[in-house]
């Protein structure tokens, strides 16, 4: 893109809070370069709008049913978004999360935006293996999502994924040509903000921070917590995250029942850092991820990690070095990994130091942002 005229960059998100929380450093970098940044989200409130504006960007509403599967509603969203983007007239468009990648990229093509970048942070619900893999409705959904991905990624100029497994899934599924895709090693974190804090060794405290979905392994975490709490009453288990409308969402009643049993603390959707600072070990028993931001944050804080040997998660842990990898959907294996830290609390310190070192080498947000900005045609 020519830098001889004012440049406008549009970023399409699935949730307003994610813009400041997950794209804040990118927005600040773009604004610092003298670019006008326009963010679009379906659920701005006063707080999220103010946070985006404080970064120097504009906040624009658009309509999106984030978890719905109604093709007429999604078509209407594409057309409305295309009209909004044509009015904004950006030179480059960045879409992230599944629905914005699909609908936003198509809308960007309709609006004639010169550079369209799709950032796939994980292949999501339709691509996550489940025990009901033979379910006809799920097979239809996955087929529909694959067709839509193929269309959208054909219309993108550049596609970015966070791990080699998602790269292979897209290429093997013939959803996009290999020369269009780049693997970036996570979206990164601000290493200065997520600075290494002293380890918490007493009481040993485990933390899971995630959307409250079955696919995040929340039930396995609860089952492991229940088992260990009976043996070690002083150990704490924290669950951070709010209720969700995703098809795999847990009910508030189920989560509250764990709290009522007394083996788990659930403060809800909260600012993560103060709670991670209370952690001895971070836990994410997810069934599939892109490259979990929560794990990167915990590693930067110097926390060991227990996670699953699945795409995205396995890329954050060297087993036995900065934590442990366990099989997905296996609460017993998860509990056994937790027991190692209870029996040998010195591992909290040594493995936590290894996590921080890995985060400094691989998860610097400045490095990730440079790759994204280059893909947008700005450098």
- The answer to whether residue 169 scores a pLDDT higher than 70 is yes
pLDDT at res. 309: 97
- CATH superfamily, domain at 205-362: Glycogen Phosphorylase B; (3.40.50.2000)
Span 45-57, average pLDDT: 97
Tens-digit pLDDT profile for residues 235-253: 999 999 998 877 789 999 9
DSSP collapsed to 3 states, 275-341: HHCCCCEEEECCCCCCCCHHHHHHHHCCCCEEEECCCCCHHHCCECCCEEEECCCCHHHHHHHHHHH
CATH no. for 8-188+364-375: 3.40.50.2000
Q: What angle do CA 297, 181, 32 make, to 5 degrees?
A: 55
Whole-prediction pTM: 0.87
pLDDT at res. 356: 97
Residue carrying structure tokens 């985006």: 52
Length reported for the chain: 379
Domain spans of the chain? Answer: 8-188+364-375, 205-362
Those residues with Cβ within 8 angstroms of residue 359's Cβ, 6 or more apart along the chain or in another chain: 189, 191, 194, 296, 299, 300
pLDDT at res. 66: 66
Using only the alpha carbons of the chain, give its radius of gyration: 21
Q: What is the spatial distance between Cα 44 and Cα 60, in angstroms, rounded to a whole number?
A: 8
- The answer to whether residue 135 scores a pLDDT higher than 90 is no
Same fold, 8-188+364-375 and 205-362: yes
Could you tell me the sign of the dihedral formed by the alpha carbons of 331, 332, 338, 342, in that order? positive
pLDDT at res. 1: 46
């Amino acid at each position: 893109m020519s830098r001889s005229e004012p440049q406008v960059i549009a970023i399409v998100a699935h949730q307003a809070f994610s813009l400041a929380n997950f794209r804040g450093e990118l927005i600040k970098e773009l604004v610092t370069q003298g670019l006008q940044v326009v963010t679009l989200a379906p659920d701005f409130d006063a707080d999220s709008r103010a946070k985006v504006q404080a970064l120097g960007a504009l906040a624009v509403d658009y309509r999106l049913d984030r978890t719905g599967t109604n093709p007429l509603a999604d078509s209407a969203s594409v057309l409305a978004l295309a009209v909004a983007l044509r009015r904004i007239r950006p030179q480059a468009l960045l879409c992230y999360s599944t629905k914005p990648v699909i609908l936003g990229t198509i809308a960007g093509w309709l609006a004639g935006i010169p550079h369209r970048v799709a950032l796939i942070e994980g292949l999501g619900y339709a691509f996550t293996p489940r025990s009901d893999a033979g379910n006809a409705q799920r097979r239809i959904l996955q087929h529909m999502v694959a067709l839509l991905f193929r269309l959208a990624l054909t219309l993108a100029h550049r596609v970015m994924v966070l791990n080699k497994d998602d790269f292979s899934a897209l290429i093997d599924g013939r959803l996009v040509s290999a020369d269009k895709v780049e693997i970036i090693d996570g979206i990164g974190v601000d290493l200065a903000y997520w600075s290494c804090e002293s380890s918490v060794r007493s009481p040993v405290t485990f933390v899971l921070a995630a959307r409250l979905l079955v696919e995040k392994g929340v039930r396995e975490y609860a089952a492991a917590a229940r088992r260990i709490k009976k043996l070690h009453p002083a150990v704490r288990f924290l669950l951070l995250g709010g209720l969700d409308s995703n098809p795999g969402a847990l009910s508030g009643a189920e989560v509250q029942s764990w709290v009522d049993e007394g083996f788990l603390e659930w403060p809800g959707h909260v600012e993560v850092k103060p709670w991670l600072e209370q952690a001895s070990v971070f836990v994410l028993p997810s069934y599939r991820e892109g490259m979990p931001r929560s794990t990167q944050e915990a590693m930067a804080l110097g926390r060991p990690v227990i996670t699953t040997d699945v795409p995205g998660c396995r890329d954050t842990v060297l087993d036995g070095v900065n934590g442990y990898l366990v099989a997905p959907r296996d609460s017993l294996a998860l509990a056994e990994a937790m027991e190692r830290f209870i029996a040998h609390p010195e591992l909290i310190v040594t493995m936590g130091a290894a996590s921080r070192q890995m985060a400094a080498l691989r998860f610097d947000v400045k490095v990730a942002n440079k790759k994204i900005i280059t893909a947008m045609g700005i450098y």
